[in-house]
Amino acid sequence: MSESLMAPVRIGRQAIGALGVLALALGTLQSVVEPSLPMLQRELGIGPSEGALISITLLITGAVVVPIAGTLGDRYGGKRVLVWLMAVVSAGGLLSSLAPNLPVLLIGQLLQGAMVGALPLSFILVRRNLPPGQTQVAIGIVMGLFTGGGLLGTLIAGPVAEGLSRHWMFGLPTIAVVATTLIVSRMMPHDPPVRSDARIDWLGAVLLSCTLIALMLGIMTMAAGLPPLGVAAIAVGVVALATGWVTVERRVASPMVDLRMLAMPATWSSCLITLLMATSAGMAIFLVPQLLAVSGDGYGFGASTTEIGLLLMPAAVVGVASGMAGGFAAQRFGPRAVVTVSAVVSAIALIALAVLHETTWQIVVAKVLTAIVAGLGSTALLAGIATAVDSKDTGIATSLMVVTRVVGMVIGAQVAGAILAAGTDPMVAHPAESAFVIGLAVAGVVSASSLLVIRFMGKGAQV
């Protein structure tokens, strides 16, 4: 069915609210693992390396599932694929809540990782059922509530696990996912398939998935001190897989990703800007808690885990609000203006923090500023690309943005960790102040470099 024949069925605030509440539930389920890892390690009798597998499994699964979910949603309808995907996520949450050991918990997390695919599917629904201006606002609401769910999950994980059990830590958000999925299924109109007669490019999907898995594992293992020969082997593998994927996409009649869409200024520039800004954000997210926790000679604060959480709470709260406001800002001022301001403010705040970090209020203010612009910028980029491409490509285009953001965050954390490791004196067992200065300054420069992309990209790009 052609896009011109797909007259949107206008949806009300209740339907958008249902999508937002589902995103809130998913964000909560996704984030309960991180603060509870020490407890999971104790109760399951595993060490830190096995515990790290829990987070890595969900992260890698999400990166693989997102583009596939977006493609299926484009072809068969966002609502239909969303409901099936939530069934998978609910099964994963149930397994995680009942898991008696690590293998079962990993299988549960493997299935739960599919939840990230709900984002592009939600964007498909709002794009096909709302005019462009309202689409940007709705995307901001969904993104903001997904981020808010992450904050909620971090806050409730400990109290629920300690007051009830670790099983309910997964079980309660899973029940919320099931309930909100039923509401979305009832309230959201069906969006007709755009290319239901086209064959799915499964070979392209497999090659893209393998490329992403190799890239993510490569980034993680390089930070663990992989020898140069191993690094080179992984790099060659990633390039070979990516080359094979491009070759397949150019030859098949109905590719998973239309490379012409990927070559559009609005697409490639959005992905590159997202990568740079996510890398900068990933570095800051890693460095700031380390700076608060360390107690060095004239720097650091020796803060406890609880104190660090309280100091970072204002940034988390404003990050949720700014994510929701990003859609309104993109509608009012245009995505390009919002992203430009975000990059400038982030760069200034991070470089200033590299110089001024003698008191906790300086760190709190810098984190609040970077959280505000990160929420505004990421939502504006997603809203811009969602309305810049054809409606039939909304799912895959936004999926690529989500995957790019995940990769950028991983790169940022690994780069920041490498900088601190290089600046650690074995005699004192903690990084020197200069390592934090370098890391924060590099994060600021990376954020500022996105301005070059904005400056030199085509003027017609909606970013």
Both tokens of 148, joined, read 């808010």
Q: How confident is the model at residue 349 (pLDDT cuts 50, 70, 90)?
A: very high
The domain in which residue 83 lies consists of 8-187
SS3 431: strand
Q: Is residue 196 part of a domain?
A: no
Both tokens of 311, joined, read 């100091």
Higher pLDDT: 282 or 348? It is 348
Is pLDDT at 375 greater than 70 in this prediction? Answer: yes
Check residue 438 and give its pLDDT: 92
CATH assignment of the domain containing 96: 1.20.1250.20
SS3 430: strand
For 386, 406, 450, the CA distances from 339, given in Å and listed in that order, are 15, 18, 9
Q: How many CA atoms lie within 13 A of 351 on its CB side?
A: 11
Percent of the chain with pLDDT over 70: 81
Q: How confident is the model at residue 213 (pLDDT cuts 50, 70, 90)?
A: confident
Determine which of 61-75, 171-185, 350-364 has the lowest per-residue pLDDT on average.
61-75
Domain boundary among 187, 222, 239: 187
Position of tokens 């995957």? 403
251 lies in the same domain as 262: no
Q: How confident is the model at residue 48 (pLDDT cuts 50, 70, 90)?
A: low
For residue 424, report the phi and psi dihedrals to the nearest 5 degrees.
-95, 125
Is pLDDT at 302 greater than 60 in this prediction? Answer: yes
376 lies in the same domain as 355: yes
The Cα–Cα gap between 109 and 111 comes to 5
The Cα–Cα gap between 185 and 83 comes to 7
103 lies in the same domain as 138: yes
93 lies in the same domain as 221: no
104 lies in the same domain as 150: yes
Instruction: Give Dmax over CA atoms of the chain in angstroms.
Output: 70
Q: Is residue 293 part of a domain?
A: yes
Higher pLDDT: 141 or 246? It is 246
CA dihedral 183, 189, 194, 197 (to 10 degrees): 80
212 lies in the same domain as 278: no
Both tokens of 75, joined, read 């072809």
Q: Is residue 346 part of a domain?
A: yes
- DSSP secondary structure letters along 249-316: HHHSSS-SS-HHHHTSHHHHHHHHHHHHHHHHHHHHHHHHHHHHH-B-SSSB----HHHHHHHHHHHH
Higher pLDDT: 110 or 63? It is 110
Check residue 319 and give its pLDDT: 78
Is pLDDT at 202 greater than 60 in this prediction? Answer: yes
Per-residue burial over 409-421, b if 16 or more Cβ lie within 10 Å, else e, is bbbbbbbbbebbe
How many other CB atoms sit within 10 Å of the CB of residue 221?
14
240 lies in the same domain as 270: no
Q: Region 32-53: what's the mean pLDDT?
A: 67
Name the domain count of the chain: 3
Domain boundary among 147, 163, 187: 187
Q: Is residue 461 part of a domain?
A: no
Q: What digits encode the pLDDT tens for the residues 394-422?
A: 667 777 787 788 788 878 877 887 788 78
Most confident of 104-113, 122-131, 149-158, 391-400: 104-113
405 lies in the same domain as 311: yes
Q: Is residue 194 part of a domain?
A: no
Q: Region 256-283: what's the mean pLDDT?
A: 81
251 lies in the same domain as 264: no
How many other CB atoms sit within 10 Å of the CB of residue 228?
8
Is pLDDT at 4 greater than 60 in this prediction? Answer: no
176 lies in the same domain as 28: yes
Check residue 171 and give its pLDDT: 85
Q: Is residue 3 part of a domain?
A: no
Q: Is residue 126 part of a domain?
A: yes
Q: Is residue 16 part of a domain?
A: yes
126 lies in the same domain as 207: no
Domain boundary among 236, 255, 274: 255
Q: Region 48-62: what's the mean pLDDT?
A: 68
For residue 423, report the phi and psi dihedrals to the nearest 5 degrees.
-100, 15
Check residue 225 and give its pLDDT: 62
Q: What's the pTM value of the predicted model, to 2 decimals?
A: 0.74
30 lies in the same domain as 173: yes
The Cα–Cα gap between 409 and 287 comes to 13
